[in-house]
Amino acid sequence: MGHRTIRNRLLTLVAAALALLPAQAQAWGFFAHRTTAEIALENVKPETRAGIARLLKAAPELGVPGCDLASLEDASVWPDCLRKDYWRWGYTFAWHYRTTPVCEAYEPRKNCSGQNCILAQIERNQRILADEGLPANVRLEALAFLVHFIGDVHMPLHSGDHEDRGGNDIDTAYGIAPGLNLHWIWDGPLAERAITSAEMPLVRRYSAKERAELGGGTPADWGRESWETSRDFVYPNAFDRAPCEGEDLPDETALTQEDIERAIPISQRRVTQAGIRMAEYLDAAFAPGPLPEPERD
């Protein structure tokens, strides 16, 4: 059997294996989201962990029996599980992103009418979660949306795009695996490889110095970081040139092993930042008293 035949058969097997993955396993809606929640749990205060456990007891009151909600890890993927029930939850689907073309100025309040974007919903759901006067099931729903959206906003292509639906319209090979798209790769296989290949486990208790370096900021800051990462790394790494110079980018590309290896530390950092910042937002929400009013321009 020749090398070309072996390679072609391998390509077919890889593509088939990827296609058979369940929908949630193909995105931050599964592995990376759950990892961010695990990082957060390792870094929250004990009082916050206890508060989360109390709220989780209200899961049956949400009336979504097909979507598990027994842990913070479950909460981190719960909003994606709602996609199978459009008539009840379709109004939430626009909350998962807020993209800005990478060749335009970043404006965090643009395209967010009526709080229908991820930046506004992070703030909204943290405030609902922090309101101890609300029923437990209302606060639990807010908890799930909060932790999920903090994960989403840290994935670069949920904030930056090139008029290609955040890379969804860019046919992209992942190494020897064809038939994927750029968004899907950053959501799924790249994130999974980044998490599992880390020299030090991403899920651990971080030092105060590490938390200070990785945490902080507002949802608008996190969205800007993701948008800048898309502009300065994701697109140049995928196309070997800056996205805003010269001719339009083609509608297909391929990530070599070198491209993938360069992307791994970027993905690791975004997953870790999401977990650390999630812990900060949860600690603030479960602290006694109301949240301070956010600063407005």
pLDDT digits (tens, 9 = 90+) for 50-91: 999 999 999 999 999 999 999 999 999 999 999 999 999 999
Dihedral, CA atoms, 104, 109, 114, 120, nearest 10 degrees?
A: 120
Q: Using alpha carbons, select from 280, 278, 281, 284 the residue that is nearest to residue 38.
A: 278
Q: Is the confidence at residue 7, as pLDDT, over 80?
A: no
Q: pLDDT tens across 210-227, in order?
A: 999 999 999 999 999 999
Q: pLDDT tens across 234-268, in order?
A: 999 999 999 998 888 999 999 999 999 999 999 99
Q: How far apart are CA 61 and CA 74, in angstroms?
A: 16
Beta bridge partners of 174: 177, 255
pLDDT band of residue 126 (cuts 50, 70, 90) is very high
Number of neighbouring beta carbons within 10 Å of residue 279 = 24
